[in-house]
Structure 1
Amino acid sequence: MILLPAWLRRIWAAVRALAVLTVLTGVIYPLAVTGLAQLLFHHQANGSLLAGGGRTVGSELIGQNFPESGYFQSRPSAAGKDGYDTLATAASNLGPEDVLDRPGRPSLLSQVCARSVAVGRREGVSGARPYCADGVGAVVKVFPYRVVSANQPCPATPFVARYQGMRVECARPGENLAAGRTVPVRGKARAVVPVDAVTASGSGLDPDISVAYAELQAPRVARERGLDLARVRALIRANTTGRALGFLGEPAVHVLRLNLALDGR
């Protein structure tokens, strides 16, 4: 029997432990978990994929864009450059204090305002919202002797003529307005477009929309497809999930399932 030096015995013991743990945790355990997942949760383990027309059309866990006008639209997405990018799932990280536009980057408020106008135009309803004017954030910068409409560069006409007795000016291109006091101005408009139609989810891949947003889109979808509106609303109800555990969250409509149902798939 060969006696190895103490330091070499320690290395040999470490190598054996590494080999055993690699087999246990790197081979046996993953295979066991994968096998159980395939046996017990086959649909979920394979990505919760949905098929239509004989091909895979998406996952019930991931939202996607539907460019055709005869389909229900998902909520906006900030995941990736064009949205709905599963490799760049993310939010914009912009909060309610982000109300001032910057060169090449509109504020969150202006993004919401622009989306609301676009949705209103598409669905044939008013896209007006409080704190919005002409598709941008209704924000003024207040100085001791002047007031500037911060998000409306000249020669645009400011959304309000006077503020606190002073004439409101348009923002001069390139002017530094940092010294002024930022004041969002709440108008009298009542929002018709639901909030999930103008804001992106935290992941940017939310597959659901609110019942209110689905109902807003129903007349357009019915008209584009030549369907009875009552039939479209029945499909909305059939693809609506209730609150989790009966009291958590709000009812939601799964957009991909609803559009598949519209196609009869």
Structure 2
Amino acid sequence: MKNFENKSDLSEYLNSLRAHIGTIGFVPTMGALHKGHLSLVKKALDENDYVVVSIFVNPTQFDNEEDLIKYPRTLDKDVTLLKTVNKDRIIVYAPSVEDIYNTNVRSNSFSFDGLEFEMEGAFRDGHFDGVGTIVKRLFEIVEPTKAYFGEKDFQQLQIIRKLVELYQLPVKVIGCPIHRATDGLAMSSRNTRLTKAQREMAPFIYKTLVNAKIMFGTKSAKYVTEWVEKQFSKQPLLKLEYFIIADIITLKPIKRKSKKKSYRAFVAVYAGDIRLIDNIALN
């Protein structure tokens, strides 16, 4: 397995490959890999000749300095895990902050037609400027044919699609289903920080989403939202930050249900100081 820390070396190697192969897939990650990441890598391998996996904890998309400091960094373990998937066709790019940003560690400013102000954008100041900055930079470095993102970060997925559209980037963005533990909890690198009690309670998030989906078939969005808020108010280990039912295209909260539109329910929950997000398609 080829490992690179320098963008110039990576670009040189990928350019040498392009003379002989068809496609390069790309799975950008912040490391602390789990089965959800591996499912993206496997899909990328199925659809491409080689796959680049980036492992980089991007400082510009954290609005909470403590969260950035505590974010798990397990590069050696991540590489070992990737080798169990494929030793020959995976290329790891694990750059330093300096390799990505030089000495200017700051986000560019983006306009994503308002998508950036909804949900996560309303609660995490500057988050999607950081996401747009790093993803655009990685796309320019790797120049992939296809890039793979999980639907757990559905808002991020839609914003990256908008990024590609606005800047006419030559990459196809592929959204992949949320990978869940057997008890329904969405896979996340942050799950490793949960206490035993928090981990046992965390599947309540997905269970509530499933019940909300059933309820949405016959009840109004307002009714479902109030019901969800009431359910979380009874949980001492989980603090609801938001529950929003939104149009999947505009990401704006629903005002009145329409059979012509598709909706998803989005949730952000704190277990102690650990922030967990999830979502589910409603129709």
TM over 0.5: no
**Could you state the TM-score of these two structures normalised by the residue count of structure 1?**
0.24
Q: Which one has a larger percent helix, Structure 1 or Structure 2?
A: 2
Q: Which has the higher contact order (CA 8 A, sep 6+)?
A: 1
